[in-house]
Structure 1
Amino acid sequence: MADKPLHFDTLQVHAGTPPDPATGARQVPIYQSTAFVFKDADHAARLFNLQEVGYIYSRLTNPTVMALANRIAALEGGAGAVCCSSGHAAQIMAFYPLMQPGCNVVASTRLYGGTVTQLTQVFRKFGWEAKFVDIDDEAAIRAAIDDKTRAVYCESITNPGGHITDLPMVARVAKAAGVPLIVDNTSASPYLCRPFEHGASIVVHSTTKYLTGNGTVTGGCIVDSGNFDWSASDKFPSLSQPEPAYHGLKFHETFGPMALTFHGIAIGLRDLGMTMNPQAAHYTLLGIETLSLRMDRHVKNAMAVARWLEQDPRVAGVTYAGLESSPYFARAARICPKGAGAIFTVQLKAGYEGCVRFVNALKLFSHVANLGDARSLVIHSASTTHRQLSPEQQKAAGVMPDAVRLSIGIEDSRDLIADLDQALATAGAEQPVPA
């Protein structure tokens, strides 16, 4: 009888990490080695020709990093994954095999500010373009896609506002156009949202956030569903056509559902060098072991805090999609049935200056440029993470000058509310509306 599929809580502990074959070590060892000894000259040749899977050099593959990639792939329900040095690295590596000079990506306006900058400024240096649309507007997405479009890009739960993307709708539009939907699933984690089940083709993560969960290391991951047909058109020659560096090997023809994964290692990591180090992989593996436990607590606390803030007369608005008052409440139940995440923005009646006083007065909330930590975090997005964007871009991204972003941690929610209460008192009275 075939083995039954394992459940999420089991996969997060066991997937990709059998006992070490050399020593029997139950925890994944940190293979802190630059290179790995070949069995003989033929073995080395087979590895370099992609005729055999193995370890050559840690810029390409490393046992600790590979264990992490396999675990994340299992949690997302993907065919394979590639880990790299940061979430930003994961984005570039996901686009790298899809794009050619003159090509474009249709992207959501509701993205992390650094992502918008990467898709506008960095893309230009590659000869690529990003076309931004309201990801809720199906007609706008369809209209933006043209013959040069190679992907549609969005976040499952957006940073900073916690907006929930209608992934099935966006996936249908992308599929009809013959391009993959790439979803940044960082803010949800695979526990709250499984984009492949909603039609996505590729998932990217900043593993720095909820997957690690302890604010210690940076990292990124690209997960391939294995379901996209890269040979259905001539749009993706890097995957469907002969690769000169490997004597004409065709990645999709040779590796099938693992084509993007093998390309990410053999070409992406080889040429871009955005390598995750084994120490970082080890920390993230440890973090993932408690992912579901932490995410349940994150969501429970976020609900308690958001409900309290929504009723506070000093607060003008709360964007948490888990609230029944949110326009995304019903969508959250479909896309993220286990909870709407734990990041959202809070608009203060005290205005911009009140936000400054509020942030400075908080004691338990740490003022940092991060999210997804076990600790609760706060930042004023308009002046920091989204500062490089124009006022119009900030508004489209859901960033307001009189709002702060909260990333709710796993502390006792009563203590978090008490901290927010005293900080709101320090923020001051309602700012008069300009005449």
Structure 2
Amino acid sequence: MSDHQFDTAQVHAGFDPAANADSVTPVIYSNAAFWLENSQRGHDVANGDVPGFLYSRVSNPTVSFLEKRIAELDGAKEAVAVASGMAAITYALLNTAEGGGRIIAPYDVYGGTFDSLRTLLPQFGVTTSFVENINDLDHIESLIEQGSDGEGGTDVKVIFAESVSNPTTVVTDVEALAELAHRHGIPLVIDNTLPTPYLYRPLEHGADIVVYSTTKALSGHGNAIGGVVTSGDSFDWANGRYPQFTAPEYILGEAAGREPRSFVEAAGPLAFIRRLRLKYLRLTGAVLGPFEAYLQLIGLETLTERVSKETASAGKVAAYLAGQRHVTAVNYAGLPGGAQSELVATNYPNGIGSVLSFELEGGPEQTAAFINQVKLFRYLANIGDARSLIVDPVNTTHREFTKEARAIVGVGPTTIRLSIGLENPDDLIADLSQAFDAVYGE
């Protein structure tokens, strides 16, 4: 890592113009495979003994630029970029819980994440204990101990949460949750998509693994799908509960002409992220393309400028909505005086991000009419875009939720989610105001 400040790193980190024909913008390497020069170098690159690129399913220079830049911004030791945010979540959780076990996670997560945890991962022997309040540490500890084998062990393999939840903006107390997880020898995985590393860096607060949908605010223009997994280097993957990291791995030993060795022996505390690349990315192939990586690199160059403005505007819009008589609730933890205001003030001095939600008076008819009436907000199932977006989660991003789960997290037929973009907030408020007038006849 360099000693550069965040704003400088978002423009320069991970890319060396001198090594890329003096181009000051990231170069798109559209290669499927790379010239290895001779047999010996080919073996050395394949075995990881010398730096180089073999095949773009494993690594690609443009993608590597992105990985290095995000790792530096996130305060991570290494990162692996993949084809989508859901690929990042799936790889991170399976790489940890492989072979069977239990995840502890809140109900209050993205709809695709909830669907995967509830219906897909169980097909691989990985189940989830859902909790209503991820900050209820006593309850989470009881769930860990319920799975005890009687000898101090547990079937819980990982705790997963969103730093700021989508769309209700519940803030996870990452430091407290990490302390609990580590006391039981369990890693903490945090989805930090909403705040981005500009507003919050989970690894600095005790998280072990962080995932992002780079589709969202990291790239910021809604023009490229992607995801990334970042890793710290403090978790002990050799603590006896994760045999996939300590078992001899053929490609690290005999295939490389060495004695048998494991990922822990080869990579130490970076065993998790190295294994994720060589087993999950290489063998299941959710590869990020170089052009998508390039678009995300360009988007990252304006991260602080975009997110700071969008977050400030989101605060103004949330305050406006809180004063509307046809709004029955506003979900934005960044509002002053909220239940989590102390946690927000401590961990999010620059705000919690650009996403908020609110409840309309009435029913589904008023919700649909309101969405159809706005002019500037685009009805689009994305967040973190330069444009302001509006959706009804129950019909889009959270349609996978059961009715019971929706009731628990507070996402219903009158919930509207906003993602605030770069427009002037006064124009956005005027747009919402005319929609209220049209729907409620004022």
What TM-score comes out, normalization by structure 1 length? 0.95
CA RMSD of aligned residues (A): 1.6
2:44 to 43, 46, 70: 46
Equivalent residues of 1:352, 1:403 under 8 A apart: no
1:242 to 237, 248, 263: 248
Alignment gaps of 5+ in structure 1: 431-435
Show the 5 A alignment for 1:393-412: 393-412=405-424
2:137 aligned residue: 138
Q: State the distance in 1 between where 2:24 and 2:400 align.
A: 46
Instruction: Kindly provide the amino acid, as one letter, of the partner of residue 419 in structure 2.
Output: S
Instruction: Kindly provide the amino acid, as one letter, of the partner of residue 144 in structure 1.
Output: L
- Offset at residue 95 of structure 1 (A): 1.9
Q: State the distance in 2 between where 1:326 and 1:357 align.
A: 29
Instruction: Kindly provide the amino acid, as one letter, of the partner of residue 222 in structure 2.
Output: G
Specify whether residues 228 and 189 from structure 1 end up closer, same or farther in structure 2 by C-alpha distance, changes over 3 A only: same
Q: State the distance in 1 between where 2:332 and 2:292 align.
A: 31
1:30 to 8, 28, 31: 28
Show the 5 A alignment for 1:290-369: 290-369=302-381
Equivalent residues of 2:34, 2:55 under 8 A apart: yes
Q: State the distance in 2 between where 1:425 and 1:52 align.
A: 66
Higher mean C-alpha deviation, range 147-156 or range 238-247? 238-247
- Offset at residue 39 of structure 1 (A): 2.2
Per-residue CA distance 1:303-324 (angstroms, 9 max, x = gap):
1111111111121111111111
Instruction: Kindly provide the amino acid, as one letter, of the partner of residue 243 in structure 1.
Output: E
* Pair 1:62 & 2:69 matched: no
Instruction: Kindly provide the amino acid, as one letter, of the partner of residue 33 in structure 1.
Output: N
Number of residue pairs the alignment of both structures matches: 427
Equivalent residues of 1:85, 1:274 under 8 A apart: yes
Q: State the distance in 2 between where 1:234 and 1:257 align.
A: 14
1:425 to 423, 426, 437: 437
- Offset at residue 390 of structure 1 (A): 1.2
Q: State the distance in 2 between where 1:4 and 1:13 align.
A: 13
- Offset at residue 341 of structure 1 (A): 1.1
Specify whether residues 427 and 249 from structure 1 end up closer, same or farther in structure 2 by C-alpha distance, changes over 3 A only: farther
- Offset at residue 225 of structure 1 (A): 0.9
Instruction: Kindly provide the amino acid, as one letter, of the partner of residue 76 in structure 1.
Output: D
Alignment gaps of 5+ in structure 2: 148-153, 254-259
SS class of match (1:96): helix
Equivalent residues of 1:167, 1:335 under 8 A apart: no
Specify whether residues 385 and 22 from structure 1 end up closer, same or farther in structure 2 by C-alpha distance, changes over 3 A only: closer
Specify whether residues 259 and 53 from structure 1 end up closer, same or farther in structure 2 by C-alpha distance, changes over 3 A only: farther
2:181 aligned residue: 174
Q: State the distance in 2 between where 1:22 and 1:77 align.
A: 25
Instruction: Kindly provide the amino acid, as one letter, of the partner of residue 139 in structure 1.
Output: D
Q: State the distance in 1 between where 2:273 and 2:245 align.
A: 11
1:413 to 406, 425, 429: 425
1:91 aligned residue: 89
Instruction: Kindly provide the amino acid, as one letter, of the partner of residue 136 in structure 2.
Output: D
Q: State the distance in 2 between where 1:132 and 1:290 align.
A: 36
Q: State the distance in 2 between where 1:422 and 1:266 align.
A: 53
* Pair 1:80 & 2:78 matched: yes
Instruction: Kindly provide the amino acid, as one letter, of the partner of residue 15 in structure 1.
Output: A
Q: State the distance in 1 between where 2:266 and 2:283 align.
A: 21
1:123 aligned residue: 121
* Pair 1:268 & 2:280 matched: yes
* Pair 1:183 & 2:181 matched: no
Instruction: Kindly provide the amino acid, as one letter, of the partner of residue 362 in structure 1.
Output: V
Equivalent residues of 1:224, 1:258 under 8 A apart: yes
Equivalent residues of 1:152, 1:182 under 8 A apart: yes
Specify whether residues 155 and 4 from structure 1 end up closer, same or farther in structure 2 by C-alpha distance, changes over 3 A only: closer
SS class of match (1:97): helix
SS class of match (2:19): coil
2:151 aligned residue: none
Equivalent residues of 2:168, 2:332 under 8 A apart: yes
Higher mean C-alpha deviation, range 309-318 or range 75-84? 309-318
Specify whether residues 383 and 262 from structure 1 end up closer, same or farther in structure 2 by C-alpha distance, changes over 3 A only: same
- Offset at residue 52 of structure 1 (A): 2.9
- Offset at residue 363 of structure 1 (A): 0.9
Equivalent residues of 1:349, 1:429 under 8 A apart: no
- Offset at residue 351 of structure 1 (A): 2.6
1:433 aligned residue: none
Q: State the distance in 1 between where 2:102 and 2:221 align.
A: 36
Q: State the distance in 1 between where 2:431 and 2:269 align.
A: 49
- Offset at residue 429 of structure 1 (A): 6.7
Specify whether residues 291 and 336 from structure 1 end up closer, same or farther in structure 2 by C-alpha distance, changes over 3 A only: same
SS class of match (1:98): helix
* Pair 1:225 & 2:232 matched: yes
SS class of match (1:154): strand
SS class of match (1:186): coil
2:69 aligned residue: 71
Equivalent residues of 2:252, 2:266 under 8 A apart: no
1:149 aligned residue: 156
Q: State the distance in 2 between where 1:330 and 1:401 align.
A: 30
Q: State the distance in 2 between where 1:22 and 1:388 align.
A: 45
Per-residue CA distance 1:233-254 (angstroms, 9 max, x = gap):
2211222221134333311222
Specify whether residues 401 and 201 from structure 1 end up closer, same or farther in structure 2 by C-alpha distance, changes over 3 A only: same
Equivalent residues of 2:82, 2:228 under 8 A apart: yes
* Pair 1:381 & 2:379 matched: no
Q: How many percent of aligned residue pairs carry the same amino acid?
A: 37
Equivalent residues of 1:314, 1:429 under 8 A apart: no
1:101 aligned residue: 99
SS class of match (1:183): strand
* Pair 1:214 & 2:221 matched: yes
Q: State the distance in 1 between where 2:176 and 2:410 align.
A: 21
Instruction: Kindly provide the amino acid, as one letter, of the partner of residue 330 in structure 2.
Output: V
SS class of match (2:416): strand
Q: State the distance in 2 between where 1:403 and 1:98 align.
A: 34
2:290 aligned residue: 278
2:150 aligned residue: none
Specify whether residues 77 and 24 from structure 1 end up closer, same or farther in structure 2 by C-alpha distance, changes over 3 A only: same
Instruction: Kindly provide the amino acid, as one letter, of the partner of residue 187 in structure 1.
Output: L
Q: State the distance in 2 between where 1:241 and 1:51 align.
A: 21
